């Protein structure tokens, strides 16, 4: 992974999250309800994996690595949300 690849990857990830993710969440709503929202991590992992396919220099080797990265992003996002609300 390169620095420019990470920067472009984060921009593309934001765009994909804003456009494709809501559609996928709507389509997978029954599964999300059954898993009490945990399937959202799988969707976030898929979004990261999709960005890795599109952006050169942003590499994620396996879906498992994308899932772990989605878990880390969820944790960081939760901490930042807690800090901003205070």
* Calpha distance 12→69 (Å, rounded): 16
Those residues whose C-beta lies under 8 Å from the C-beta of residue 41, and which sit 6 or more positions away, are 67, 70, 71, 74
Q: Which two tokens stand for residue 47?
A: 């979004």
CA–chain centroid gap for 54, Å, is 14
In a structure prediction context, what are the per-residue pLDDT tens digits for the chain, which is 86 residues long? 678 888 888 899 889 888 988 999 999 999 999 999 899 989 988 888 888 888 888 888 888 888 898 899 889 988 998 999 86
Which range marks the domain in which residue 11 is found? 3-85
pLDDT for 60 equals 86
Q: What angle do CA 7, 22, 69 make, to 5 degrees?
A: 45
Domains held by the chain: number: 1
pTM assigned to the model: 0.78
Burial (Cβ within 10 Å: 0-12, 13-18, ≥19) of residue 85? exposed
């Amino acid at each position: 992974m390169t620095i420019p690849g990470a920067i472009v990857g984060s921009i593309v990830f934001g765009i994909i999250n804003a456009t494709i993710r809501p559609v996928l969440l709507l389509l997978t709503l029954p599964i999300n309800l059954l898993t009490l929202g945990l399937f959202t991590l799988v969707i976030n992992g898929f979004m990261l994996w999709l960005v890795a396919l599109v952006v050169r220099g942003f590499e994620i080797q396996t879906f498992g690595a994308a899932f772990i990265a989605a878990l880390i992003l969820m944790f960081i996002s939760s901490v930042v949300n807690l800090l901003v609300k205070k």
